[in-house]
Copies of this chain bind each other. A is one copy, B any other.
Amino acid sequence: MHRIERTKPDGRRLLLYARAPLDAAGDAPSPFAEPLRGAPHLRWHPLRGEWVTYAAHRQDRTFLPPPEYDPLAPTRDAAHPTELPGGDWEVAVFDNRFPALAARGDAPPPAGLSIPVAPGGGHCEVVVFTQDAQQALTTLPLHRFELLLAVLADRCADLSRRADVAYVLPFENRGAEVGVTLHHPHGQIYAYPVLPPVPATMARVAAEHHRTHGCGPLAALIEAERRDGARVLYAGEHAIAFVPPCARYPYEAWVAPIEEARTFEDLSPAQRADLARAWKTVLMKYDGLWARPMPYLMGWYPAPVRDAAPGWHLHAQFHPVLRSRERLKFLAGTEIFAGLFAMDVLPEATAAQLQAVAAVL
């Protein structure tokens, strides 16, 4: 993998990645001329015991592009710069102009609240999967998934070295149904200044399982799923995709290396190649299921930063937001207020439907 780094006029960083060496010349455009201002801050939720991040400056988005303007397309006209240059890059990463998480010295948190507050910290990046706005992640070649896994390894390693980062979450929100307004294929990386509630719970649960069973809960589950096969969507030498028997969303699927890995950097080239196949297989089955682009949320779970995290097992979770071709899955009373998920459909049934969808890589 080749990478070059540039700085945008407003101080943000731009990283370009490709399999072949990149032309290091050229500029780092930005649609924004004015310097960055504002900063997020954190407030403590005293009933749930967790932090909430506030980024009121995100509403300052005065930039109103024409509808055909795509900020993630390569800049064609220097008078109307996008976020990205032309050239032969395959994947690009840049600092989010309106981050939900950021460390900035110039914006102290509000005073006078009775709950704990803290200055913002962490970092938000945008990951552009392709120069071509007409593609989707699903339709990109297998080698692009491999490159993306290498890019995620680079980003997680880099972000994990920051003193203000405790957890790194790469994710993709896809589709208007989940609120996405920018359809150019892209994901995001949130680097959190605190360990968020879900990975904190997962680390605690995995460590407990490791202590009592000698392995993590996902390693045990993968072994059982490979043996059973009823919910498996992809079974390779090094990677697996399956509908978890404890699915909380219709058509939920997980993708993981078979051998326990803490994070992307731990993967060998062979593991990465097979994980790419598992990843692309799930997306192809999603889009094939109802012959329409499946709206989904995808999140990758690397291990917490600076934490032994015994039993942790890198994996991705995919949550489609449909329960049938036309019907949305809503989170309502029980999921939102109790956190206990209620499913009308068995994982075995959705797995059988997804197994029946052809996915030729």
- Contact partner of A344 (CB less than 8 A), chosen from B59, B115, B349, is B59
Whether, in the assembled complex, A273 has its beta carbon less than 8 Å from a beta carbon of chain B, the answer is no
Query: Which residue of chain B is the closest to A316 with respect to CB atoms?
Result: B337
Tell me if B48 and A196 are in contact (CB < 8 A).
no
Whether, in the assembled complex, A264 has its beta carbon less than 8 Å from a beta carbon of chain B, the answer is no
Whether, in the assembled complex, A333 has its beta carbon less than 8 Å from a beta carbon of chain B, the answer is yes
**Cβ contacts under 8 Å, A206 to chain B:** 47
Query: Which residue of chain B is the closest to A202 with respect to CB atoms?
Result: B47
Which of A80-88, A130-138, A149-157, A168-176 faces chain B?
Answer: A168-176
Tell me if A339 and B50 are in contact (CB < 8 A).
yes
Give the interface centre of A171, A204, A319 by most chain B CB atoms within 10 Å.
A171
Tell me if A197 and B340 are in contact (CB < 8 A).
yes
**Cβ contacts under 8 Å, A244 to chain B:** 45
C-alpha spacing A100/B344, complex, angstroms: 8
Interface string of A16-56 (1 = CB under 8 A from B): 00000000000000000000000000011111111111111
Interface residues of A in 302-361 (CB under 8 A from B): 317, 319, 328, 330-334, 336-346, 349
User: From residue A23, how far is it (CB to closest CB) to chain B in Å?
Assistant: 32
C-alpha spacing A345/B346, complex, angstroms: 38
Oligomeric state, in number of copies?
Answer: 2
**Cβ contacts under 8 Å, A50 to chain B:** 339-340
Known contacts A228-B114, A343-B54, A198 near B48 by CB under 8 Å: yes
Interface residues of A in 176-201 (CB under 8 A from B): 178-179, 188, 190, 192, 194, 196-199, 201
Which of A5-13, A64-72, A215-223 faces chain B?
Answer: A215-223
**Cβ contacts under 8 Å, A173 to chain B:** 330, 332-333
User: From residue A277, how far is it (CB to closest CB) to chain B in Å?
Assistant: 23
User: From residue A87, how far is it (CB to closest CB) to chain B in Å?
Assistant: 28
Tell me if A340 and B115 are in contact (CB < 8 A).
no
